[in-house]
């Protein structure tokens, strides 16, 4: 994962139709092509809460093979899953998040960390041993505002 993503807020994602929690580790993403559209992504939804609808397809934006995903509790489509990313997307900046939620189908809320004072950030949950040295770069990350490239 790109170190800059660690500063983003971890979001709890709910299905807007039935309020069931479909993801505990969502991240706000912005499509480069249409920055007015809000999307939320994750590397791992709650397994039992969302299911793919089976049929894969491509959009006219790129060659990724994607598949709609639905809330298992109410059956409404809440987003899509990139089953097979295309070469263009693999080579561009991305955060390994292959599950995308549409903002009009879900609601998000911030998660309070253990101290009860701060909202949870991605570097608190996604830390892996080999990325520890990136923490010394924290102060230089704040001005990287164009990290939200996705697809």
Query: Which residues of this chain interact with Zn ion, rule CB under 5 A?
Result: 15, 17-18, 62, 64, 71, 73-74, 86, 89
User: What distances in angstroms separate CA 91 from CA 85, 87, 96, one per listed residue?
Assistant: 10, 6, 11
Smallest distance, Å, CB 71 to Zn ion?
3
List of residues 6+ apart from 53 with CB closer than 8 A: 67, 68, 69, 70, 77
Smallest distance, Å, CB 22 to Zn ion?
7
- Nearest to Zn ion of 5, 101 (CB atom): 101
Smallest distance, Å, CB 27 to Zn ion?
18
CA distance 78 to 15: 7
- Nearest to Zn ion of 3, 85 (CB atom): 85
- Nearest to Zn ion of 39, 141 (CB atom): 39
- Nearest to Zn ion of 62, 127 (CB atom): 62
Smallest distance, Å, CB 85 to Zn ion?
6
DSSP string, 53-116: EEEEE--SS-S-EEEEEEETTT--EEEEEEEE--HHHHHS---S--EEEETTTEEEEE-B-TTS
């Amino acid at each position: 994962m790109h170190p800059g993503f660690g500063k983003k807020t971890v979001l709890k994602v709910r299905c807007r139709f039935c309020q069931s929690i479909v993801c505990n580790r969502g991240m706000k993403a912005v499509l480069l092509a249409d920055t007015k559209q809000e999307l939320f992504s994750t590397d791992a939804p709650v397994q039992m809460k969302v299911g793919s609808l089976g049929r894969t397809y491509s959009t006219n934006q790129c060659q990724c093979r994607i598949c709609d995903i639905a809330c298992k509790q109410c059956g409404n489509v809440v987003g899509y899953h990139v089953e097979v990313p295309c070469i263009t997307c693999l080579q561009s900046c991305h955060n390994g998040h292959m599950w995308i939620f549409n903002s009009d189908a879900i609601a998000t809320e911030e998660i309070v960390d253990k101290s009860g004072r701060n909202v949870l950030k991605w570097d608190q949950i996604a830390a892996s041993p080999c990325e520890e040295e990136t923490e010394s770069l924290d102060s230089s990350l704040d001005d990287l505002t164009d990290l939200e490239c996705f697809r």
